[in-house]
C-alpha cells in the first residue's frame, strides 16, 4: 500500500476545491496553489527515488486487487513526467501572478489550474484504461474553462472549435475502450497486455490499436493538429504556456504507454503508421512555423514539430530512441513553457503579436533577449543545452533502425525550428528600437524570475543529463520490457 503515489493528484484536487471558498482572497489563492505545486514536486521526486530502489510502486484503490479494481502505477516514466509537470506548473504560476490579471484570478482561475494538473498527473499515473479516460476528461474540462476564461471574443471562437474536436475525440476514445473491453474483457492495462500476448495481436486488435492511435493523435496533435495553433494562441500567455507544456504531452504519454505495453506485437502496422504520421507532422509543423508572422502561431507550430519529433522515437522504438524521446519529452515541457512565456512577454511589452511590428527589444530588455536566444538554441538542440541529448539519442536510434527518412526529417525540422525562431529573434530583438525610454513598459519581477528559473532548468537538464540518466534508462527499460510492468501490477 503506497498512498503517497496518489498525492500528486490528490493535493491539486483538494487545493482546487478549497480555493473555491476563498474566491476573494487572491494572495492566499496564489501562494496556496504555488505551495501545493511545490509540495507535489517534492513528493514526486521522493517517489521517483523510491522506485529506483524498490521497483515499480502501485496503489490499489479501496484495496481492490488488480485486475478487478482500478489502480495507480508509478514507474520511472510516469514519475519523471509528473515531477516535470509539477515543477513547470509551479514556475508558470509565478509568471501568472503578475500577468493573468485580477479579473481572471477571481473567476476561480487557480482552482482550474489545479484541476488541470490533477487530470494531467492522474493520466500519467493510472494503470487502468477507463481511468485514463476519466483523467483525460478532468484535464479537458479544466482546459475548456481555462481557454474561455476572461471571455474575449477570440477565446470564445477558438474554444468552440477546441471543445468540439475534443468531445469528438473523447467519443472515439470511449468507443475504442468499448471495443477493447468487448474483445478482451478487461480494462486493467497490464491485464490487457497479458491477454493480447496470449491470443496474439489479431487483426481486430490491431484495428482497435489504430483507433486508439487516432484518439491519442488528436489529443497530442500528431498529424491531426489543425485545431492546435488556433486554440493555443487564444488564451492569455500563461494559460497557453500550461497548455503547450502539458496537454499534448499527455497524449504523447498515452501513445507511448499503449504502444509499448499493449499493442507492441505488430510494429509493421502500428509503428510504421506512427512513423508516417510523425513524418507528416514534422513537415506540416515546419511549414507552419515559418509561414506566419503572428508570434503565437509560430510558437504553437513549434509545439507541433516537437510532437512529431518525440514520436519518431516511438516509431523506431530502439532503446536509445526511446531514451532520447523521454529526454526530449522532459526538455520539451520546460522549453515550451519558457517559449510561450517569452512570447507572452513580447506581446505584453509591445502590445502587438505581429513580429514585423516589433524591433530592437534587446536594447530595452537585454536579459529578456538573451533568454529568448538561449531558448532558441535549446530548441534547436545545441549542446550543452537540454535539447541536445534527446535529439542525439533519437537520431542515433533511428539510424540503428535504418529509418533514414525519419532521421533526415527530424533533423531538417530542427533547422526549421531554428530558422523560425531566428526570424523572430532578428525581427523583434535586433534592429532599431521602437520603444521610447519614457514609453517603456517596466518588466515585472515575476516575469523575469519565472523565465530565469526555466532557463536555469534548461541548463540544468543539459549539463545534468548524467544525473537524469539512471531514471531515464529505468523508464526506457520498463517501456521496452512490458513484463516488468506486468509483474509489478499482477504478480506482486
Partner 1 sequence: MKINDVILHAVTKIVVFIIFTMAVYLFLSGHHNPGGGFVGGLVLASAFVLLFLAFDMETVRHAIPFDFKYVAALGAFIAVASGVGSVFFDAPILSMTHGYFVLPIFGETELATVTLFELGVALAVVGVVVTIILSIGEDI
Residue number with CB closer to partner 1 (107 or 269): 107
Backbone region of residue 60 per phi and psi (left: phi > 0; alpha: psi in -120 to 50; beta: other values) = beta
Asked if 125 is part of the footprint of partner 1 (rule: CB under 8 A), the reply reads no
**Can you tell me the distance from the alpha carbon of 157 to that of 234, in angstroms, rounded to the nearest whole number?**
9
Q: How far is the CB of 128 from partner 1 (least distance, A)?
A: 13
Q: Return the C-alpha cell found at 292.
A: 506566419
Options 8, 12, 13, 285; binder of partner 1; rule CB under 8 A? 13
Asked if 3 is part of the footprint of partner 1 (rule: CB under 8 A), the reply reads yes
Asked if 105 is part of the footprint of partner 1 (rule: CB under 8 A), the reply reads no
Residue number with CB closer to partner 1 (63 or 200): 63
Asked if 141 is part of the footprint of partner 1 (rule: CB under 8 A), the reply reads no
Rounded to 5 degrees, what angle do the CA atoms 419, 420, 422 make? 60
**Can you tell me the distance from the alpha carbon of 217 to that of 255, in angstroms, rounded to the nearest whole number?**
8
Site for partner 1 in 166-205 (CB under 8 A): none
Q: How far is the CB of 117 from partner 1 (least distance, A)?
A: 15
Residue number with CB closer to partner 1 (108 or 253): 108
CA-to-CA dists, residue 219 to 201, 216, 280, 330, 431, angstroms? 25, 5, 16, 18, 39
**Can you tell me the distance from the alpha carbon of 57 to that of 79, in angstroms, rounded to the nearest whole number?**
11
Asked if 1 is part of the footprint of partner 1 (rule: CB under 8 A), the reply reads yes
Residue number with CB closer to partner 1 (10 or 32): 10
Options 24, 63, 437, 439; binder of partner 1; rule CB under 8 A? 63
Residue number with CB closer to partner 1 (9 or 334): 9
Asked if 59 is part of the footprint of partner 1 (rule: CB under 8 A), the reply reads yes
**Can you tell me the distance from the alpha carbon of 392 to that of 413, in angstroms, rounded to the nearest whole number?**
14
CA 232 to chain CA centroid, Å, is 13
Question: Cell numbers 536555469 correspond to what residue?
Answer: 456
In this chain, which stretch among 8-16, 93-101, 205-213, 429-437 interacts with partner 1, using CB under 8 A?
Answer: 8-16
Q: x/- binding map, residues 20-49, to partner 1, per CB under 8 A? A: xx----------------------------
Question: CA nearest 201: which of 261, 272, 264, 268?
Answer: 264
Residue number with CB closer to partner 1 (56 or 59): 59
Residue number with CB closer to partner 1 (131 or 300): 131
Q: What is the dihedral of CA 481, 321, 333, 8, to 10 degrees?
A: 10
Residue number with CB closer to partner 1 (65 or 483): 65
Question: CA nearest 408: which of 390, 395, 422, 421?
Answer: 395
**Can you tell me the distance from the alpha carbon of 134 to that of 119, in angstroms, rounded to the nearest whole number?**
8
In this chain, which stretch among 27-35, 60-68, 275-283, 364-372 interacts with partner 1, using CB under 8 A?
Answer: 60-68
**Can you tell me the distance from the alpha carbon of 110 to that of 343, in angstroms, rounded to the nearest whole number?**
22
Q: Return the C-alpha cell found at 307.
A: 510532437
Options 12, 48, 60, 337; binder of partner 1; rule CB under 8 A? 60
Q: Return the C-alpha cell found at 267.
A: 510494429
Q: What is the dihedral of CA 6, 12, 14, 19, to 10 degrees?
A: 180
In this chain, which stretch among 32-40, 55-63, 174-182, 452-460 interacts with partner 1, using CB under 8 A?
Answer: 55-63
Q: Centre a 10 Å sphere on the Cβ of residue 59 and count the other Cβ atoms it contains.
A: 18
Q: How far is the CB of 320 from partner 1 (least distance, A)?
A: 38
Residue number with CB closer to partner 1 (20 or 405): 20
Q: How far is the CB of 58 from partner 1 (least distance, A)?
A: 10
**Can you tell me the distance from the alpha carbon of 198 to that of 315, in angstroms, rounded to the nearest whole number?**
24
Residue number with CB closer to partner 1 (187 or 333): 187
Q: Return the C-alpha cell found at 67.
A: 485486475
Q: How far is the CB of 16 from partner 1 (least distance, A)?
A: 9
Options 24, 53, 62, 102; binder of partner 1; rule CB under 8 A? 62
In this chain, which stretch among 56-64, 74-82, 163-171, 450-458 interacts with partner 1, using CB under 8 A?
Answer: 56-64
Asked if 10 is part of the footprint of partner 1 (rule: CB under 8 A), the reply reads yes
Q: Return the C-alpha cell found at 473.
A: 534508462
Question: CA nearest 271: which of 324, 221, 206?
Answer: 206
Residue number with CB closer to partner 1 (10 or 452): 10
Site for partner 1 in 340-379 (CB under 8 A): none
**Can you tell me the distance from the alpha carbon of 406 to that of 395, in angstroms, rounded to the nearest whole number?**
9
Q: Return the C-alpha cell found at 64.
A: 481492490
Options 25, 28, 49, 61; binder of partner 1; rule CB under 8 A? 61
Binding site for partner 1 (CB under 8 A): 1, 3, 6, 10, 13-14, 17-18, 20-21, 59-63
Amino acid at each position: 500500500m503506497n498512498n503517497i503515489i496518489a498525492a500528486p493528484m490528490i493535493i491539486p484536487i483538494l487545493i482546487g476545491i478549497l480555493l473555491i471558498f476563498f474566491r476573494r482572497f487572491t494572495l492566499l489563492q496564489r501562494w496556496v496553489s504555488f505551495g501545493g505545486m511545490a509540495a507535489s514536486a517534492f513528493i514526486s521526486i521522493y517517489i521517483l527515488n523510491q522506485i529506483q530502489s524498490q521497483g515499480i510502486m502501485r496503489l490499489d484503490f479501496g484495496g481492490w486487487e488488480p485486475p478487478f479494481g482500478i489502480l495507480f502505477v508509478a514507474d520511472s516514466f510516469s514519475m519523471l513526467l509528473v515531477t516535470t509537470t509539477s515543477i513547470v506548473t509551479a514556475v508558470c504560476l509565478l509568471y501568472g501572478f503578475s500577468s493573468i490579471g485580477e479579473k481572471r484570478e477571481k473567476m476561480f482561475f487557480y482552482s482550474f489550474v489545479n484541476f488541470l494538473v490533477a487530470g494531467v498527473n492522474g493520466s500519467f499515473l493510472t494503470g487502468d484504461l477507463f481511468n485514463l479516460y476519466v483523467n483525460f476528461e478532468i484535464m479537458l474540462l479544466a482546459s475548456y474553462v481555462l481557454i474561455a476564461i476572461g471571455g474575449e471574443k477570440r477565446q470564445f471562437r477558438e474554444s468552440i472549435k477546441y471543445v468540439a474536436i475534443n468531445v469528438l475525440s473523447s467519443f472515439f476514445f470511449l468507443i475504442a475502450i468499448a471495443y477493447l473491453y468487448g474483445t478482451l474483457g478487461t480494462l486493467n492495462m497490464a491485464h490487457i497486455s497479458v491477454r493480447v500476448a496470449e491470443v496474439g495481436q489479431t487483426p481486430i486488435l490491431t484495428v482497435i490499436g489504430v483507433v486508439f492511435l487516432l484518439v491519442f493523435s488528436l489529443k497530442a496533435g500528431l498529424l491531426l493538429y489543425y485545431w492546435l495553433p488556433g486554440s493555443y494562441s487564444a488564451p492569455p500567455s500563461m494559460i497557453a504556456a500550461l497548455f503547450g507544456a502539458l496537454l499534448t504531452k499527455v497524449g504523447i504519454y498515452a501513445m507511448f504507454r499503449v504502444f509499448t505495453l499493449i499493442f507492441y506485437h505488430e510494429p509493421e502496422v502500428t509503428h510504421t503508421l506512427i512513423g508516417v504520421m510523425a513524418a507528416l507532422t514534422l513537415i506540416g509543423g515546419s511549414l507552419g512555423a515559418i509561414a506566419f508572422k503572428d508570434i503565437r502561431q509560430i510558437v504553437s507550430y513549434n509545439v507541433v514539430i516537437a510532437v512529431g519529433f518525440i514520436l519518431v522515437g516511438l516509431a523506431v522504438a530502439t532503446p536509445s530512441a526511446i531514451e532520447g524521446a523521454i529526454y526530449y519529452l522532459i526538455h520539451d515541457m520546460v522549453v515550451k513553457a519558457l517559449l510561450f512565456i517569452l512570447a507572452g512577454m513580447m506581446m505584453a511589452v509591445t502590445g502587438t503579436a505581429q513580429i514585423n511590428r516589433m524591433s530592437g527589444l534587446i536594447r530595452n530588455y537585454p536579459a529578456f533577449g538573451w533568454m529568448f536566444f538561449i531558448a532558441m538554441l535549446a530548441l534547436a538542440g545545441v549542446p550543452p543545452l537540454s535539447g541536445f541529448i534527446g535529439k542525439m539519442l533519437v537520431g542515433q536510434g533511428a539510424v540503428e533502425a535504418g529509418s533514414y527518412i525519419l532521421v533526415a526529417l527530424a533533423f531538417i525540422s530542427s533547422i526549421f525550428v531554428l530558422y523560425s525562431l531566428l526570424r523572430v529573434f532578428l525581427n523583434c530583438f535586433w534592429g532599431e528600437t521602437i520603444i521610447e525610454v519614457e514609453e517603456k513598459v517596466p518588466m515585472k519581477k515575476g516575469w523575469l524570475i519565472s523565465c530565469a528559473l526555466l532557463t536555469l532548468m534548461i541548463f540544468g537538464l543539459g549539463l545534468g543529463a548524467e544525473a537524469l540518466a539512471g531514471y531515464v534508462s529505468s523508464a526506457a527499460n520498463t517501456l521496452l520490457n512490458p513484463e516488468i510492468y506486468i509483474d509489478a501490477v499482477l504478480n506482486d
